[in-house]
Amino acid sequence: MRKVQLTETVLRDANQSLMATRLPYKDYEGILADMDKAGYYSIECWGGATFDSCLRYLGEDPWERLRNLRKNLPNSRLQMLLRGQNLLGYKHYHDDVVEKFIELSIKNGIDIIRIFDALNDFRNLETALSATMKYATPKTIASGCISYTQSPVHTVDKYIEMCKELKRMGFQTICLKDMAGTMSPYEAEHLIKGIKDAVGDMPLILHTHCTTGMAYMTITKAVEAGIDVVDTATSCFSGGTSQPATETMYYAFQQYGIDCGLDEETINKVNDFFKPIKQKYVDNGQLNPKSLATDSQALVYKVPGGMLSNMIANLTDMKAMDKFDAALAEIPNVRADLGYPPLVTPLSQMVGNQAVTNVLVGERYKNISKEVKNYIKGEYGTAPAPISDELLKKVLGDESPVDCRIEDQKRTGEDFDAAKDALGDLARSEEDIMSYICYPDQTVKFLKDRKAKEENEAVYTIEEM
């Protein structure tokens, strides 16, 4: 019997996409024992924006969340998303920080580390991969992930070459990450057939979003073409900017005689559990029903949904919404000038802001942001296609762009020992120090709050006695 397994994303990407990752651990603790018996390929539950959200908005220690997930999901594969050398932040960290982060992630309970780089510059995956191998348990899987996008240089052949490279590097599975939900059924069919022919013995995973309305069709074609694993979300947290629905996929697969290993009763129970939780966030406004609708604009402009809403918010702030159409039309031009980077964090923000600036200033590239300058210098990695000569000249003058990983040229990341000294007795573990390296301000605030809370509790306990 043909087997296609499903990864449940409600604990990470589904709530990240629909409600800005604001789902607290306590909300879903009560369903973990059932989720552990559902039969998913894996449960995506950590990494991405969860780490930042825990510290910044939810007052949670992300590492403690991970240990609790591990304790309550003893039989499941716990999966995280990692931005390669950027870890879970927005800048490049030094190799020893990356290695320590991976060591602690595995130690606290992660099984599958899905590693990607915004530019698909796989040099930025090397350290994370070798650290994963170094600290691997028998359950650990290093999954190499490709940021999917469309452009004149992103051909089927190019993606096949990328997959061969990920295999050669030593990744155990390959994931195609279609963050904007713009992969069409036709593209999925040709891409996945091509990849399966080239690296057929490696499990292939499709991660897409319903944003543009194509995901169900795309997955149908992906399944026909031989995909092994698909990411889905429990149905009340599916659709719109999130993933397609787990139960719907189960139902459709059954009629094709495809075994996805799920227990029907359990996946329905999981959905029933999350329904009132979703309603709570719709009622309090954290889950905007707009994010549940289909938005086909992304197909025209190849711009992820989140990027559009960001642009609208910025232009509204500046009372310049009359420039929206011009800014939107400028995005593909900026992207072409920059060598067609995939529009995923942090490139989506950089390209979007530059397009807005070009239009508002009234002269293209009169102002160039620091981030875009660093990108042009090669500090993020190699662009998929050559950057325009005009821009290279403007930013670099007669210098050449960086031709190696930025870590090999200069030490950019924080030092673990320096961070330890900076925190003093606020830090009680290596995990605290790592949180500080990733998000210093939020972590200091979190650790101070933790200390104050404990001191209050101690006073209270003594008085009670």
Residues that bind Co ion (CB under 5 A): 13
d(CA 6, CA 39): 9
The residue among 344 and 383 lying less far from Co ion, judged by its C-beta, is 344
Q: Quick one: which of 11, 96, 99, 112 has its CA closest to 62?
A: 11
DSSP notation for 374-423: HHHTTTT---SSPPPHHHHHHHHTTPPPP-S-HHHHS--SPPHHHHHHHH
The residue among 13 and 414 lying less far from Co ion, judged by its C-beta, is 13
**Cβ at position 177, least distance to Co ion in Å:** 7
The residue among 238 and 357 lying less far from Co ion, judged by its C-beta, is 238
Peptide bond into 346 cis (omega under 30): yes
Name the residue number minimizing CB distance to Co ion: 13
d(CA 51, CA 438): 9
The residue among 180 and 383 lying less far from Co ion, judged by its C-beta, is 180
**Cβ at position 290, least distance to Co ion in Å:** 18
The residue among 13 and 95 lying less far from Co ion, judged by its C-beta, is 13
Cα angle value 329/332/334 (rounded, 5°): 105
**Cβ at position 175, least distance to Co ion in Å:** 10
d(CA 432, CA 245): 36
CA 432, 433, 435, 436 dihedral sign is positive
245 phi/psi in degrees, rounded to 5:
-80, 135
What distances in angstroms separate CA 84 from CA 97, 116, 170, 371, one per listed residue? 12, 5, 15, 18
The residue among 12 and 154 lying less far from Co ion, judged by its C-beta, is 12
Exposure string (b/e) for 390-401, b if CB count within 10 Å is 16 or more?
Answer: ebbeebeeeeee
Residue 305 token pair: 């949904």
**Cβ at position 284, least distance to Co ion in Å:** 24
**Cβ at position 436, least distance to Co ion in Å:** 27
The residue among 208 and 357 lying less far from Co ion, judged by its C-beta, is 208
Q: Are 6 and 232 contacting, i.e. CB atoms less than 8 angstroms apart?
A: yes
**Cβ at position 17, least distance to Co ion in Å:** 6
Coil, helix or strand for 320? coil
The residue among 78 and 315 lying less far from Co ion, judged by its C-beta, is 78
**Cβ at position 40, least distance to Co ion in Å:** 17
The residue among 196 and 209 lying less far from Co ion, judged by its C-beta, is 209
Supply the DSSP symbol for 426.
G
The residue among 175 and 355 lying less far from Co ion, judged by its C-beta, is 175
**Cβ at position 301, least distance to Co ion in Å:** 19
Q: Quick one: which of 229, 292, 264 has its CA closest to 14?
A: 292
d(CA 371, CA 373): 5
* 325: Cβ contacts below 8 Å, ≥ 6 apart: none
Beta strand pairing call for 141-147 and 78-82: unpaired
**Cβ at position 179, least distance to Co ion in Å:** 5
